[in-house]
Structure 1
Amino acid sequence: MTWTQNFTPISHSIYISALVALIPILYFFWALAIKRMKGHIAGLTTLLITLLVAVIAFKIPAGMAIMSATQGGVYGILPIGWIIITSVFLYKLTVKTGQFDVIRSSVLSITEDRRLQALLVAFSFGAFLEGAAGFGAPVAISAALLVGLGFNPLYAAGICLLANTAPVAYGAIGIPIIASGGVTGLDAMEISKLVGRQLPFISVFIPFYLVFIMSGWKKTMEVLPAILVSGVSFALTQFLSSNFIGPELPDVLSALVSLFATAVFLKFWKPKTIFRFKSETETTTAKIETTHSFTGGQVFKAWSPFLVLTGFISIWGIPSVKLALTGHYEGANALLNGLNAIGHALTFVPAVPLINNKILGATGAPIAAIYKLELLGAAGTAILIAAIVTKFIVKISWKDWAATFGETLNELKFPIITISSVVAFAFVINASGMSTTLGLTLAKTGSLFPFFSPILGWLGVFITGSDTSANLLFGTLQKVTATNIHMNPLLAVAANSSGGVTGKMISPQSIAVACAAVGLAGKESDLFRFTLKHSIFLLLLVCIIVFLQSNVLGWMIP
């Protein structure tokens, strides 16, 4: 039995149908921002409401709706939940063995200023992890690091979500851009070029905005030189690499250049005062005394778990290695062929009962639905291997290592429920056609579509938690709509990716991941209220940039 998606099920009206499709999303906003429900309660009740709307209003058979929810729930555990578990576990190993005290001291040796620590850890280091892995690892690891340095957990999570805006479009070795090219038929390199002519304006602004939120205008101007070094070095590298190399490396290169440039700059320049939060004290740099002195070898050892982590995540991101890890490598390399055999044995892609190739989408083609269980290829497995190597670096016993892993699992049980439920909610919205209904409604804006085009990407990332998924969801719709209104299709497709980055910080998945990483399970509503206004503000900036490129700055389009 097959079922065809209907995008105007209510009175054959796209607008009324869109209002009904908004019900689960509006409920989720209400549950977190106003009612302040715990994350797992908000997630589970939103999923229930989504199922009811999908079945009653959009007429998807109940069995199909439920199975699409199971597909999303499984994806919420692997790869997303797996990344959170292993990331927090690795961090806890460094804390339990005292190595994080050394890490904290080494960061303080560069700067004790909270504003500058946020630039180094949340912005630059977080962007590197986004470029190498994506899928929640950047926020989970960088937020945990900031908490270890003494940041308020809510602030640490919020700052890292905000900082993660700049690199999302090129995350996980450029997958969002590559996927966008694949689904639209446009050249990925051309999309990369245009996104690289939109996002640098946001990237150069984010460090300033981040510090401004933390400390206000006066305190931001005190560290403006460092902000400029951090933001300009990142944005310039992002533009050059995206336009002359390709979509794979802008995040990795931009992050490394920004991190190195800022760290070197801070060796020669210091702010007049050291900024701390209200619960701390504010003193002049001359009064700061170093309480701990560690050797270079001790500092290297303490950072080694994260260096090992970076190495494994980078290896996992290499295209040929990624193929081998999932059992899809077909080359002649003997090592990769051996890895391919293991990857094939540990990769399971069973079809989802009732819905695999049984739902017909907008084009009339059946939609494949599988449980994608890549046990070896998951980024979380790379992090787990780094944690195993870390066991020998920090010299913790297997008993304590295992006990720490058990503690991590126990602490994250509710966050994992939250993540699984919100991903399930996203899959039901997609399977029922509700997301396409919302997209088609925005496409009705005609000549104003260049302004509203990024909102589709923002909405897509809010729903799916992924810029890649948002591009797959709305990329073709963007291209077709742009062609119909005589807008450059390349601009619309790029706008989807650029707009999507501003939705990452309010995505239910991202909120759950960030809260889990800093020990704020159940406080998702507070974090959502913190990020919502910033997400809308940054989205507005992207909308203005795209509108200007469509009507005034056409020379910026490749």
Structure 2
Amino acid sequence: MYRQILDPLLGSLGWSALAASLPLLVLFALLGIVRMTAWKASLIALVVSVLVAVLVYPMPVDQALLSATLGAAFGFFPILWIVINAIWIHNMTVASGHFDVLQRSFSRISGDRRIQAVIIAFCFGALLEALAGFGTPVAITTVMLLALGFSPVTSAVVSLVSNTAPVAFGALAAPLVTLASVSGLPLGQLGAMTGRQTPVLALFVPLVLVGIIDGFRGVRQTLPATLVCGLSFAAVQFAAANFVSVPLTDIIAALASAGATVVLLRVWTPPGTSTLPEPDERGEVFRAYLPYLIIIVVFVVAQLGPVAGVLDKVTLKFHWPGLHVLDPAGKPVSLVEFNFNWLTNAGTLLLIAGLLTIPAIGVPPRVAAARYGGTYVQLKWPIVTVMSVLAIAYVMNTSGQTATLGTWMAAIGGLFALVSPVLGWLGTAVTGSDTSSNSLFGALQVTAAHRAGIDPLLAAAANGSGGVLGKMISPQNLAIAAGAVGMTGREGDIFRRVLPWSLAFLFLMCVLVYLQSLPVLGWMVV
């Protein structure tokens, strides 16, 4: 039995926070400065996190190691389980030739590669985020951009930066469902408040994507399309989150944004637009989109009340064997429980969709099986990275390192609203998941908000909204993006390209939340 202590080093919260930050400092220094491959850097940082837990925090060695195994298991299921099956479906479309048809279909929307990139990375990526999340949009859109002729680095950076505004409502609002469960706040209010923060990001992301690809000249030349794309997504995300359905928010916003952009391109084209490719047969185009239509249908059916109830009956919830951790108040922490929802999990639903895709697009079963095995080979180093990073996160969480950092940041009083999104950003940067970040800091945000005299709903929503900006620099997603474009081992190069954008957007979110805590924008709070 281990009971967490928040100030183990000299009884000082500040010194303890410095020690607790060592695993993260080591991880990002190895990635960004030393340029070490992500799987090696994450394994070294894992060792550091265990050493801090054992030597600084009085955590028994066996409890620290068991925490690491629980984190690694969570890294594979559900996170990698989702990514593997999503990429398998993509690999089958490549084998059948329908991926090329899909590419040409996107190319026919506009002859401008910059706009094609925005539609693929932002609109289509948002749809994938809404359905599956957990790295799926990064894995698939990165490959699609590469096939359009963008360099591997640019493809990875554009996909990572675009995976921001939709993340808070991703995987059918899984981050917000988690946030509601740990904070005790109503899901509807959390969704509405988040829908008054992340749309601000959506206004700028399409412009930034074009800027990454073609600089200021490109931004100026494509401004009508990027404005329509960003504004339509932002408006519909706000409306859906506040008045329609929190789980369906990103699906509605992604489809509306893509539709609005396509309508604009019917009457306006940017200068220098190339000739559109010849159209494929309608039947082939339909089959190219069919895997994604199947995914949508499978996910929608799985969410229906009676079906969801049946699928959830086989869910296994159990205490991780041998791991016994209490929080500082002496209560058992929920992190030591493992939820094996093997039928309702998005990865299993993607596997079912993949099995349905095999006959739908005419992939021989032998080829489908070979592609499935090949997907594991393709992702072998990202698999090591993701499992190691989640092991770090769980060691930090169970030992109390994460709580130390959060409590130290929450001690600044009235200015807490300014740094509230930073907590979410930090949680997602470590775990690669806004859902995990909300589970880490959701309750802490509410407690700190009460102490600082800030609306708890605002602080809780800020955790998820800030968290979406940490996703692009998380080693998990860097590894997925690098692996998708054959850049495994060069995650540090991608990290240095996306870090400025992550920090810039984070600054914007911090200012927005701070102003929402004041009368200036207080009217925006639900």
TM-score range, shorter chain: over 0.9
Q: What is the rounded CA distance, in whole Å, between the counterparts of 1:46 and 1:132 in structure 2?
A: 32
The alignment partner of 1:273 has SS state of: coil
What do residues 6-38 of structure 1 show as CA deviations (whole Å, max 9, x unaligned)?
010000000000000010000001110011111
1:84-128 CA distance string (max 9 Å, x none):
222222112111222222112111111232211122111111111
Are residue 312 (structure 1) and residue 304 (structure 2) matched? Answer: no
Secondary structure of the residue aligned to 2:196 is coil
1:238 match: 237
Matched, 1:109 2:75: no
Match of residue 325 from structure 1: 311
Contact 2:445 2:456 in 1 (8 A): yes
- Displacement of 1:317 in angstroms is 4.7
Q: For residues 437 and 444 of structure 1, what CA distance do their matches in structure 2 show?
A: 11
Measure the CA separation in 2 of the matches of 1:124 and 1:248: 17
Shift of 1:535: 0.7
- 1:423 and 2:423 aligned: no
Indicate the residue corresponding to 1:183 in structure 2.
182
The residue type paired with residue 385 of structure 1 is I
AA aligned to 1:315 is V
Q: Which residue of 2 aligns with 1:522?
A: 489
Residue number in structure 1 paired with 2:344 = 377
Task: Please give the alpha-carbon distance, in whole angstroms, between the structure 2 residues aligned to 1:206 and 1:401.
Answer: 36
Taking every aligned residue pair, what percent have the same amino acid on both sides?
42
Mapping for residues 282-321 of structure 1, pairs under 5 Å: 285=274, 288=275, 290=277, 292-318=278-304, 321=307
1:314/1:211 Cα in 2 relative to 1: closer, same or farther (>3 Å)?
farther
2:366 matched to 1:366? no
1:462 maps to what in 2? 429
1:398 aligns with 2:372: no
Tell me the residue number matched to 2:374. 407
Query: For 1:351-362, what aligned pairs fall within 5 Å after superposition?
Result: 351-355=319-323, 358-362=324-328
Amino acid paired to 2:505: L
Q: What SS does the corresponding residue of 2:322 show, helix, strand or coil?
A: coil
Match of 2:420 among 436, 449, 453: 453
Query: What is the aligned partner in structure 2 of residue 167 from structure 1?
Result: 166
Match for residue 197 of structure 1? Answer: 196
Amino acid at match of 1:489: P
Q: Secondary structure in 1 aligned to 2:87?
A: helix
Matched ranges for 1:484-495 at <5 A: 484-495=451-462
Q: What's 2:525 paired with?
A: 557
Q: Which ranges of 4 or more aligned residues in structure 1 deviate by more than 4 Å?
A: 317-320
Unpaired segments ≥5 residues, structure 1: 275-284, 328-343
| 8 Å CA contact retained: 1:97, 1:396 | yes
1:247 corresponds to = 246
1 CA distance for matches of 2:419 and 2:460?
A: 12
Note if contact 1:505-1:511 (Cα within 8 Å) is conserved in structure 2: yes
Q: Which amino acid aligns with 2:142?
A: A
Taking a change above 3 Å as real, the CA distance of residues 324 and 506 of structure 1, as seen in their structure-2 partners, is: farther
Is 1:548–2:515 an aligned residue pair?
yes
Letter in structure 1 aligned against 2:107: L
Quote the residue 1:10 is aligned against.
9
Q: 1:503 to 1:183 in 2, by over 3 A?
A: same
Question: How big is the shift at 1:318?
Answer: 4.8
Distance 1:480 1:396, change over 3 A: closer
Normalised by the length of structure 2, the TM-score is 0.95
How far residue 512 of structure 1 moved from its aligned partner, in angstroms, is 1.9
Number of corresponding residues: 524
Q: How far is the alpha carbon of 1:536 from its aligned partner?
A: 0.8
CA distance in 1, matches of 2:454, 2:349: 43
Q: Please give the per-residue CA displacement for 1:273-302, whole angstroms capped at 9, x wherever unaligned.
A: 14xxxxxxxxxx3xx363x44121121122
Q: What is residue 332 of structure 1 aligned with on the other side?
A: none
Secondary structure at the counterpart of residue 449 of structure 2: helix
In structure 1, C-alpha distance between the alignment counterparts of 2:199 and 2:50, rounded to whole Å: 39
Which amino acid counterpart does residue 4 of structure 2 have in structure 1?
Answer: Q
Whether the 8 Å contact between 2:2 and 2:63 is mirrored in structure 1 is no
Deviation at 1:73, TM superposition (A): 0.7
Asked if 1 retains the 8 angstrom alpha-carbon contact of 2:225 and 2:264, the reply is yes
CA change 1:466–1:208 in 2 (3 A) is: same
Q: Is the 8 A contact 1:129 1:310 kept in 2?
A: no
- State the 1:468 CA deviation: 2.0
Q: What is the TM-score when the length of structure 1 is the normalising length? A: 0.90
Q: SS in structure 2 opposite 1:372? A: strand
After TM superposition, give the deviation of residue 75 of structure 1 in Å. 1.2
- Pick closer, same or farther for the CA change 1:303–1:538 going to 2, 3 Å: same
Alignment of 1:81-92 (within 5 A): 81-92=80-91
Paired position in structure 2 for 1:75: 74
Decide whether aligned partners of structure 1 residues 161 and 353 sit closer, same or farther in structure 2, where only a CA change above 3 A counts. same
Q: Deviations over 1:338-376 (max 9, x none)?
A: xxxxxx1xx444431221xx2111332112423433332
Structure 1 counterpart of 2:331, which letter? A
Partner Cα distance (1:116, 1:314) in 2: 29
Q: Are residues 556 and 132 of structure 1, via their aligned partners in 2, closer, same or farther at CA, if it must alter by over 3 Å?
A: same
Asked if the contact 2:107/2:276 (under 8 Å) is kept, the reply is: no
Superimposed CA distance per residue, residues 219-259 of structure 1 (whole angstroms, 9 cap, x where no aligned partner): 11111111111011100011111111242222111111001
Match of 1:533 among 500, 512, 517: 500
* Alignment pair present for 1:435 and 2:402: yes
Question: Corresponding residue for 2:51?
Answer: 52
Structure 1 pair 272–75 and aligned structure 2 pair: CA distance change class (3 A): same
Partner of 2:92: 93
RMSD over aligned CA atoms reads 1.7
Distance 1:83 1:519, change over 3 A: farther
Aligned equivalents of 1:220, 1:535: Cα separation in 2: 19
Secondary structure at the counterpart of residue 366 of structure 1: coil
Quote the residue 1:341 is aligned against.
none
Give the direction of change, closer, same or farther, for the CA distance of 1:486–1:48 in structure 2 (3 Å limit): same
1:202 and 1:320, CA in 2 relative to 1: closer, same or farther beyond 3 A?
A: farther
The 1:320–1:525 alpha-carbon spacing in structure 2 relative to 1, beyond 3 Å, is farther
Q: Which amino acid aligns with 2:326?
A: L
Distance 2:41 2:303 in 1: 33
Post-superposition Cα deviations, 1:451-499, rounded to whole Å, max 9, x if no partner, equal: 1111111111112222222222212221222222222222111211111
The 1:48/1:458 distance shift into structure 2, 3 A limit, reads same
Question: Cα deviation per residue 1:364-420 (whole Å; 9 max; x = unaligned)?
Answer: 211242343333222222222222222213323222222222222222211111111
